[in-house]
Every structure is written in C-alpha cells, then in structure tokens.
Amino acid sequence: MGVSSNAMHEQRYKAEDLIAYANTVRAGSNRRQVTEYISLGLLDHPRKPGLGRGAGSAPGTWSWAQRELFRVLWAQRPLLTTAELCNFPVYLWMFWGNQHVPLRQVRKAMKTWLSRVQFVSAAAADYAAGEMLKVFGQKGSSRANRQLLAQALHGRKPDLDEVRQEISRAAKTRAAIRVRGREHEVVVDDQVMMGLLRGRVSAEEQLARFPDSLYEWARFFALFGESAYAHEQPALGVDQEHGWLFSPRHQNDFLKSACATLLTLLGASLGVKPNPNHSGTLLDPETWKLLHLRGVTRDTHIVGDGLAVEFGIVQGLQTPSGLCDRSLR
C-alpha cells in the first residue's frame, strides 16, 4: 500500500467520505466503524478547526492518506485480527512518514497491538521459539523450554533467568555464531538475545512512558538497519551453515512485523549495552533525546519488492538535513 509522498493530496475528507470510499471495496462500513478505528489507533483523530469564540468547530476531516488507510483496513478486516491491522499505521509511519500517520496515532496503535498480541497462536509462538533455539545448534527441545522463549517473544512475561539458562544450554560450548558478510561479520550470542528479550519485556511495561525522541530514534535505526541488511544480505544468505537466517526482506515483511520491530527497537535501547563507538552519533538514542531530533521522510516509493526511502533529520524546527537515501530491498 502507499504512494509517493510527493503525490499527497491536500484535500480533506469528512466521515461520510471515508465511509463511502471504504464501501467501494466491501459494503457495511459506517460511523461506528470510524469511531472504533479512532479508539484503536487504526485511524487518527479528525482535524476540527475552530470557528471562532462561541461558534464551536467545523466538522472533523481527515487527510487523503488517512482515507486510503481506512479503506485498506476495512478491506482487510475479514482477513486479519485487530493486532495484525495495527501493523498498517505503524508501518506507514516508519517507512512512509508522518504525512501518512502521525506519531500520536502510532502510540495508540502500539498500545492496542500490545493488548491483543497475546492472541498470537500457540503454533506461531512455538515455531518462533524453536527457530531461536536452532540458532544455537540445539536440534530439539522440550515443549516446556520452547514455551519459555515463546512467552518472551509474545508478550507474556517469562522467567528470564530460566530463559537464559535454556539459551546457554542450547549454545553449549558455542558462545556465538559468526557469519562473514561482504564487509562485516555478523555475530549472534546469548547475551545479545537475552538483552533483546529483557529489553522487550521492559518496553512492554514502559511503552506509554517512552519519550517521542526514542520513537524517532527507533524509526531511524529501523531504516538504517534495513538498508545495511539489504546491502549485506546476498553475502550472508549464501553461508552454508547459517544462510537460512538471512533471507531477503521485502515490503510485505516490513508491514507484517512493523509493531514487533518497533517494540523490539524500543526495548533494545533498554536491554542492550550500546556500542561505545556509537556514543554521541545518530545511532545513540541519547543523541536524539539531547538534541531534540526528529525524522522527516521526504519521499518513499516502491522499488521491485522493496522500498526506497529518502529520510532527513531536523533539530527542533530546523530544515531537514540531507542525511540519507535508504533503499530497502
């Protein structure tokens, strides 16, 4: 979904316009649906300009992008859960920009997603836990041990000490796996995994208290990380032993995992010790907090199965800097 940011329409739309547009793909949309989507963060609050002292306000309206989002969500409603639908606004904010979805809507959608993610199927949770154990070379594992990891991955607070022991047992004598890319060596060890798990659990508990600057950093880090991964993936993917860990990532992958990616990055700022080499740089979340930085997505367009994102950074009300053009394919 989506269109180039340069093609954004300035026209505003009333609730009846959203409803009529949504009903072109599937009948049954109504005002109750609009109200529900606003409460869940699937749709932003309408803009209601004041008419002057004592005159009230004009009827609420939405942007062209929000009208498109409402239509897509309504079309997907029979196929996806509420938690899955929450990925759409978060994805748009992360990869297409605030002109599509504002941060205030992302915060509400994340809250809804986190409250519903517990309904992820047991089979999916078990599969994810099994894949994590496979990273460390464990051929099989008991259902109880896999469930510990599944709890950590899917929102139910686990016994993290027990999870660490299980990962350590899976790792055996191998403290980490190393895969050589074109320019860098990828290292995954149990400390990194435990840091991510601990951070994610903490992020779930502190989600509403994270400052805007940390959300802004997480978006930048997601774009930076996906761009670096796209560059390195061809070399990593051909590794004979661990290449299965490094499959290409496409636009649909970004969409399906948007909420989980954002929560993991928010948690990483809490649970993973930062690289000293990144201190004071844009990769350091403290930099975004201290300098009051925020991101500006200048343009996004689809390239093959991926995205090309032109992203800038502003400090306060400054003009965006020409930071980067991230191609995510």
Q: Of 162-166, 240-244, 251-255, where does mean pLDDT reach its minimum?
A: 162-166
At residue 154, the pLDDT reads 54
Q: What are φ and ψ of residue 2, in 5° steps?
A: 115, 170
**224-232 LR contacts (CB < 8 Å, sep 24+):** 224/282, 224/283, 224/324, 224/326, 226/254, 226/326, 226/328, 227/324, 227/326, 227/327, 227/328, 230/306, 230/327, 230/328, 230/329, 231/182, 231/183, 232/181, 232/182, 232/183, 232/184, 232/186
Which residue type does 211 have? P
Neighbouring CB atoms inside 10 A of 221's CB total 20
Q: Which two tokens stand for residue 324?
A: 């980067």
Amino acid making up residue 56 = G
Read off the pLDDT band of 265 (50, 70, 90): confident
- pLDDT bucket at 123, cuts 50 / 70 / 90: low
Question: What are the backbone dihedrals phi and psi of residue 322, each rounded to the nearest 5 degrees, phi first?
Answer: -80, 70
| Cα gap 185→78, rounded to integer Å | 43
pLDDT tens by residue, 270-298? 766 667 888 888 989 999 999 999 999 99
Give Cα separations from 143 to 30, 32, 123, 197 (angstroms).
45, 43, 11, 19
Q: State yes or no: pLDDT of 6 exceeds 50.
A: no
Give which of 234, 246, 249 is closest to 307, Cα–Cα. Answer: 249
pLDDT at 245: 72
Tokens representing residue 218 in the block:
């997480």
Higher pLDDT, 69 or 195: 69
pLDDT of residue 90: 97
The whole-chain average pLDDT of the chain stands at: 78
Residue with tokens 């951070």, as numbered in its chain: 199
Question: What per-residue confidence (pLDDT) applies to 43?
Answer: 98
Q: Is the pLDDT of residue 109 over 90?
A: yes
The answer on pLDDT for 322 being more than 50 is no
- What is the maximal distance between C-alpha atoms in the chain? 74
Asked if residue 241 has pLDDT above 80, the reply is no
> DSSP assignment, residue 6?
G
Tens digit of pLDDT for each residue in 70-89?
A: 999 999 999 999 999 999 99
Query: Is the confidence at residue 209, as pLDDT, over 70?
Result: yes
Looking at the chain, the whole-number percentage of residues with pLDDT higher than 90 is: 39
Least confident of 17-21, 188-192, 300-304: 188-192
Cβ 293 vs Cβ 318: under 8 Å? no
Across the range 160-189, mean pLDDT stands at 58
268 contacts 278 by C-beta, under 8 angstroms: no
CA dist., res. 18 & res. 31, Å (int): 9
Provide the Cα torsion 225, 229, 230, 233; round to 10°.
-170
Could you state, in order of their start, the residue ranges of all structural domains in the chain? Answer: 5-46+59-117, 203-328
Q: Which of 92-96, 170-174, 288-292 has the highest mean pLDDT?
A: 92-96
Q: What is the DSSP string of 20-89?
A: HHHTTTSTT--HHHHHHHHHHTSSPPPB--B-STTS-BPPPBB-HHHHHHHHHHHHHTTTS-HHHHTHHH
Instruction: Annotate 167-216 with three-state secondary structure.
Output: HHHHHCCCCEEEEECCCCEEEEEHHHHHHHHHHHHHHHHHHHHCCHHHHH
**pLDDT(4) > 50:** no
* Predicted structure pTM score: 0.78
Contacts of 266 (CB under 8 A, 6+ apart): 199, 203, 207, 210, 214, 215, 218
CB 290 within 8 A of CB 214: no
- What confidence score (pLDDT) does residue 89 get? 98
